[in-house]
Amino acid sequence: MKEFKNKVAVITGAASGIGLGIARRAAKEGMKVVLADIEKDALIQAEEEFKASGTEVISVLTDVSKAEAIENLAQKTIDAFGEVHLLCNNAGVAAPGPIWECTLKDWNWVMGVNLWGVIHGIRTFIPIMLQQDNDCHIVNTASSAGLVSGDPGNGIYSITKHGVVALSENLRASFGGMGSKISVSVLCPGFVNTNIINSERNRPAEFCGPDYEPCLERMIKKYPETEQFIKAFITSLEQGTSPDQAGDVVFEAMKNDIFYILTEIGLIWKRFIKARFDGIMEAFNQNRPILKSL
């Protein structure tokens, strides 16, 4: 997809962070923009920003973990603009901590937003796009954490992002086999200056419970030695790519038909990714004598 003017973009998690950066670039490209987010006040503020700039925009309060909420988002998009050409399944949250200590509510919340949010998005919007039979693009937001070996301090997040990468790879292969006009990319940001570390500000009550304690506080209380690592991580985020720059990267990647979209090319991520896949390839050599002996 190379032409964006007068096309329609739907972006989840659009009230802040990367989603807002993508939405701003979409507006600059002359697109009509649908902002979806669960954070009401930030969503209203974002909508006002776009209206002030002359962008055709609507906002829809949306909990992406709910299939019916995504169906409502699609209906409001079609009611307002008639079509949809760009879908950015971008909403994401994190619940840090060792995976065996995370509660079921932690798991259900993060899986619901990060993975099921993408699943609901593609199940709802792809049939619409196929019926339109015109050039469309889907960008699923994963993470560099979805390309490297597991993050011991943020396990659920890492697991969901690996799932989004695999889902996107399957989607691209499926469309390639059917000659579809829908193209796909998976966004794997590294350090971007977002508020992901404070995503529990938007955690619904149903995922809290009477004994709820924010995951970050819970982890630091039990493992005080992690506090310095968390502070260093926050600093890396603050010094990272800006959300607007990330939005620019996404659009330039779409124009060049790039599947794996990276927001930075620092050696640290390249080294981590290489280490993971080198380990997989080495497993062939390690297993060869065992398999030959059977």
CATH of the domain at 147: 3.40.50.720
Residues 93 and 231 grouped into a single domain: yes
Catalytic residue among 157, 212, 223, 260: 157
CB atoms within 10 A of CB 42: 19
| Integer angstrom CA distances of residue 149 from 90, 100, 159 | 22, 17, 10
Mean pLDDT of 193-214: 93
Which residues is 125 bridged to in the sheet? none
Give the separation between CA 286 and CA 280, rounded to whole angstroms: 10
Whether 1 maps to a domain, the answer reads: no
Q: What is the pLDDT of residue 151?
A: 81
Query: With 90 as the cut, is the pLDDT of residue 30 above it?
Result: yes
Whether 2 maps to a domain, the answer reads: no
pLDDT band (50, 70, 90) for residue 45 = very high
Domains held by the chain: number: 2
E strand or H helix at 11: strand 8-12
Q: What is the pLDDT of residue 220?
A: 93
Give the separation between CA 231 and CA 14, rounded to whole angstroms: 26
Query: With 90 as the cut, is the pLDDT of residue 176 above it?
Result: no
34 φ, ψ to 5°?
-115, 115
Is 260 catalytic? The answer is no
Residues 146 and 238 grouped into a single domain: yes
Whether 3 maps to a domain, the answer reads: no
- pLDDT tens digits, residue range 211-250? 899 999 999 999 999 999 999 999 999 999 999 999 999 9
Rg (C-alpha) for the chain, rounded Å, is 20
Residues 156 and 195 grouped into a single domain: yes
Residues 148 and 287 grouped into a single domain: no
Please enumerate in sequence order all residues whose Cβ is within 8 A of that of 224, keeping only pairs 6 or more positions apart, or say none: none
Whether 17 and 8 have beta carbons less than 8 Å apart is answered as no
Residues 282 and 147 grouped into a single domain: no
Residues 133 and 277 grouped into a single domain: no
Residues 289 and 205 grouped into a single domain: no
pLDDT band (50, 70, 90) for residue 103 = very high
Whether 14 and 37 have beta carbons less than 8 Å apart is answered as yes
Residues 254 and 280 grouped into a single domain: no
DSSP secondary structure string, 25-60?
Answer: HHHHTT-EEEEEES-HHHHHHHHHHHHHTT--EEEE
Whether 156 maps to a domain, the answer reads: yes
Q: Which domain holds residue 25?
A: 8-263
Give the separation between CA 92 and CA 113, rounded to whole angstroms: 6
Residues 275 and 159 grouped into a single domain: no
| Integer angstrom CA distances of residue 73 from 34, 152, 243, 248 | 9, 35, 23, 25
